Amino acid sequence: MTSTTLAATGQWTRTGDLPAPSSWYGRHDGAVTLTGGKVLAAGGATASQAARTQAALYDPGAKTWTATGALQTSRRLHTMTLLDDGKVLVAGGISGTAQFPAPGLASAELYDPATGTWTATGGLHGNRWGHSAALLQNGKVLVAGGATVRSGQSVKALRTAELYDPATGTWTEAAPMTDARSGHVAVVLPNGRVLVVGGVVPVAKDAEAALAFCEIFDPANGTWAPTGDLLAARGRHQATPLSDGTVLATGGSAPGGPGDGTFDPYSRATAELYTPGTGAWTALPDMPSGRGLHRAVPLGQKRALVIGGTGSVRDGVGYAGALIFDGATKTWTPAGGLAVGRWGFAVAKLAGAAGVLVTGGVVRSGLAAAVLGTDELTVATEVFTEAVVP
């Protein structure tokens, strides 16, 4: 008997290294592609979970990173949003060294590519980290949920939401979400509404419960409304808009009983698709293996690239595997593998057809790391292209 091996699509090419190893654990804290085509990465965490101030620019033409102005405040689990005027808004996050409860931030700052500097802008109405950020069609930024300190020994998830107006540099409190959540994903739909997908709520110092609840923000009337639930509760997942207006949800770390009497402590292999017209999620074929803390980016033509990840943050080795989802056929195809397996990294879709860039991230953590309690990070940067480069 013989078995069929699917040929991998595309390949990764090593390019210039980050100036320093960093990791990005949030859903909205990764790199952004600027209007001129360069990629900005800012903040993140060190191997010991301390927040960073450093920022760097990747030039696709020169294939190199160069340092740019440092953040005024060190941040991790913040959000980064490219504004319509080409500036980048960074909001909230955690500052300082690793500690519990974390010293959350209410401050925000703007990066100006013309000067390579950061300036303070209006502050949030409360400290938060692990929140979402979405650029609305009217140019404002919606920040929602996240976590904050509950007491000297605990944290809680938030329902609150705020709107940032670049014209005035101020934040306005918006209607709260239906459900408190952190670590969720916010996706702007073609009709301008914002879909919030899954997330987690803290239930103990080192434990959290994943959510299946989803909801939609309507900028026209400033209200939230529940929409169809995920078929599986998801945290540390990805939700990716496809070119036909649907949204792909993949993976996530959600320990618990799958319903057959067993217990699975590892990441989900399941995937599902949200259709805005029906407000419902439908099951898709499983990925070849589970993954959480991965990244996913749209490729156009109803396709998405799913990259890296890990099986468990307590015993975490970064995955090198990547997949392409084809929404037309509802199938998964292996993509070329990363040279350096990783999770908790930054990703950016390069301008035009230049490909997808990944940088930094965690190579090993937990029991897999050489020193327990310290992550092993990478400076490696790679670019994915579907056409084979000679």
For residue 390, the model assigns a pLDDT of 37
Structure tokens at 265: 């402590």
Phi first, then psi: give them for residue 80, nearest 5 degrees: -125, 125
User: Measuring CA to CA, how many Å separate 140 from each of 87, 112, 165, 205, 241?
Assistant: 13, 17, 5, 34, 20
- pLDDT tens, the chain, 390 aa long: 333 445 678 999 999 999 999 999 999 999 999 999 999 999 999 999 999 999 999 999 999 999 999 999 999 999 999 999 999 999 999 998 887 778 899 999 999 999 999 999 999 999 999 999 999 999 999 999 999 999 878 899 999 999 999 999 999 999 999 999 999 999 999 999 999 999 999 888 778 889 999 999 999 999 999 999 999 999 999 999 999 999 999 999 855 444 444 445 557 899 999 999 999 999 999 999 889 999 999 999 999 999 999 987 666 889 999 999 999 999 999 999 999 999 999 999 999 877 999 999 999 887 777 777 788 999 999 999 986 433
pLDDT tens column, 193-235: 999 999 999 888 778 889 999 999 999 999 999 999 999 999 9
Cα dihedral 374→379→380→384 (10° resolution):
100
Is there a contact between 13 and 340 (Cβ–Cβ < 8 Å)? Answer: no
- Rounded distance, CA 143 to CA 201, Å? 17
Phi first, then psi: give them for residue 315, nearest 5 degrees: -145, 55
Is there a contact between 136 and 144 (Cβ–Cβ < 8 Å)? Answer: no
Residue 47, burial from CB neighbour count under 10 angstroms (0-12, 13-18, 19+): middle
- Rounded distance, CA 254 to CA 234, Å? 6
For residue 1, the model assigns a pLDDT of 37
Structure tokens at 104: 């959350």
- Rounded distance, CA 273 to CA 251, Å? 12
- Rounded distance, CA 165 to CA 81, Å? 13
DSSP annotation of 314: G
User: Measuring CA to CA, how many Å separate 179 from each of 133, 223, 278, 384?
Assistant: 16, 13, 21, 37
Put the strands of the sheet holding 108-112 in their side by side order.
79-82, 88-91, 108-112, 117-121
- Rounded distance, CA 26 to CA 344, Å? 8
Cα dihedral 171→173→179→180 (10° resolution):
60
* Amino acid letter, residue 246: T
Structure tokens at 233: 């509760």
Is there a contact between 108 and 163 (Cβ–Cβ < 8 Å)? Answer: no
User: Could you tell me the residue ranges of all domains in the chain?
Assistant: 1-25+293-390
